[in-house]
Amino acid sequence: MPPVPNSTTNLGRMLPFVPKQLRWGVDRIAASSIAKQLLGGTFWNMAGVLALQGATLITLILLSRTLGIKAFGEFGLIRSTVAMFSDYAGFGLGLLLVKYVSEWIETDKPRAGRIIAFCYGVSCLTAGIFSVVLFLCSPYICNGIIDSPHIIYSLRLGILLFIALVYNGIQYGLLGGFHYFHAIFIAKLVSGLLMIPAVIFGAKFYGMDGAILGFSLATGSAILISAYFVRKAMQEHVLMMDFRHCLREVPILWKSALPTALNVLAFAPTVWVCYLLVARQSGGTSMLALVVAAVQLNFIMTFVTSQTWRVFLASASAAYAKSNYKAMRKIIGVNLLVNIVSTSIIALPFFLMPAFFMTLYGDSYTQGALILRIFCLIALIQAIYNALSIQVIGVGKMWTFTSFSFTGGCVQIAMTAAMTYHVSGGMAFAVGQLSNAFVMLVALSVYTLLRIKKQDDFPGRQTKNFSI
């Protein structure tokens, strides 16, 4: 595979094409290691998300027209179930790798090798356990909970997609810790290019089962590509996975991985339970199709914030490890500005023309226009609290963040259940999601205001002034 050029080495070549009024900004970026790191990582992450989410959007639009609104709603429920189990099995280890590998890769290579081995070992164990659980629980989920026995085989087939999601999460997290964001882009690009023909061809000839196999094939292809770059990065940093001594890092499981997993446990079943509340209503699978469409368009609105967040987290964690409080605050401030501006620009067309975008999935989807407008507001709130969450996660306060997520999840389920008695299932889901986002925003804002002038979370009192 040909080498990929570093995005920050071409700033000098760009200078002649930059207007004179803006050249001072390029000069500042070229002179700042943090700014170059953020710029390079942000570029590759945005490119990767645009490639994968764009392909996913096109695939789901074509799939909705191929399967029909009822079957598309059932497919969305299967995909949500598989995603929930993959979040459980992932155990928050991808996020843990981003944080700790970026912290230790230069200061403590042996420990970085142990934590990588530990995360791979735990992910293999959890993936095996949850694969068996999903296989055995499929009849109960389809018969007893959602009353759709005809999709039992399809849900079991989703185990292939589940395994691919788990290992992609681990390897993307590790590559993020190495700041190999261009490698994540390449893996997502290949996955996206394979997704459209694989899913649509499978759905056309084999229905829902073919669509699931297509998604599994496309997602699995990224595992091979990311594995190549993981090996390359470890050779570059002269790093070896130490499985023999990896159990020394078990305390990390309690400090970071367990609360991160509990945070996932608070989020993943929240969405799934709310999906079930919608699906169990009369005509619920058709209403669920509206929600799936709106949620996918919401991903487009937040594609900048969802992936660049890891870039800013890695940089903020590195600043935290060096006790550079001012640098960390600047990183969070830049992240907040980028999130608000990008999300506002992207979400505005969806807010002004919701019926047009919902019609892309089919004429019967226009009834979800108001649902999409609510998701535009949700995207803006998420953009703000994603940046604020770095103040909590970047300093290792995972239990605090987990408590916020758990509270928001409970509010969402309660609000969705209450609203199903007054409005349609799709509107109930949207209002519940909006309530969750508002709770997270308030909690993280209050925490940030209380902690912003304190430095006792940091390992030292040194606060070097980094230019950004």
**pLDDT for res 105:** 81
Band the pLDDT of 285: cuts 50, 70, 90. Answer: confident
Mean pLDDT of the chain: 81
Q: Which of 82, 98, 31 is nearest to 308 (CA)?
A: 98
Cα gap 249→439, rounded to integer Å: 33
Task: Tell me whether residue 455 is in a domain.
Answer: no
- Tell me the pLDDT tens digit for each residue of 95-131: 778 878 887 887 788 888 888 888 888 889 989 999 9
Helix extents (H) in 237-324: 250-252, 258-279, 284-301, 303-321
360 or 143: which leads in pLDDT: 360
40 or 465: which leads in pLDDT: 40
Inform me whether the pLDDT recorded for 378 exceeds 90.
Answer: yes
Task: Tell me whether residue 163 is in a domain.
Answer: yes
Band the pLDDT of 456: cuts 50, 70, 90. Answer: very low
Number of domains in the chain: 1
CA dihedral of residues 155, 82, 267, 300 (deg, nearest 10): -110
Count Cβ neighbours within 10 Å for each residue of 355-389 and write b for 16 or more, e otherwise.
Answer: eebbebbbeebeebbbbbbbbbbbbbbbbbbbbbb
CA dihedral of residues 156, 157, 159, 164 (deg, nearest 10): -170
- Tell me the pLDDT tens digit for each residue of 259-269: 666 666 666 67
Cα gap 213→230, rounded to integer Å: 26
User: C-alpha angle with apex 81: 78 to 85, nearest 5 degrees?
Assistant: 140
Task: Tell me whether residue 459 is in a domain.
Answer: no
**pLDDT for res 213:** 95
**pLDDT for res 467:** 35
Task: Tell me whether residue 420 is in a domain.
Answer: yes
- Tell me the pLDDT tens digit for each residue of 220-261: 999 999 999 999 988 888 888 888 888 887 777 666 666 666
Task: Tell me whether residue 428 is in a domain.
Answer: yes
Task: Tell me whether residue 351 is in a domain.
Answer: yes
Neighbours of 465 (CB within 10 A): 10
**The whole model's pTM is what?**
0.74
- Tell me the pLDDT tens digit for each residue of 171-211: 998 998 888 888 999 999 999 999 999 999 999 999 999 99
Q: Determine which of 116-120, 133-137, 254-258, 434-438 has the lowest per-residue pLDDT on average.
A: 254-258
Domain that holds residue 117: 27-449
Task: Tell me whether residue 347 is in a domain.
Answer: yes
Ramachandran quadrant class, 271 (left: phi over 0; alpha: psi -120 to 50; beta: rest): alpha
**pLDDT for res 461:** 43
Task: Tell me whether residue 15 is in a domain.
Answer: no
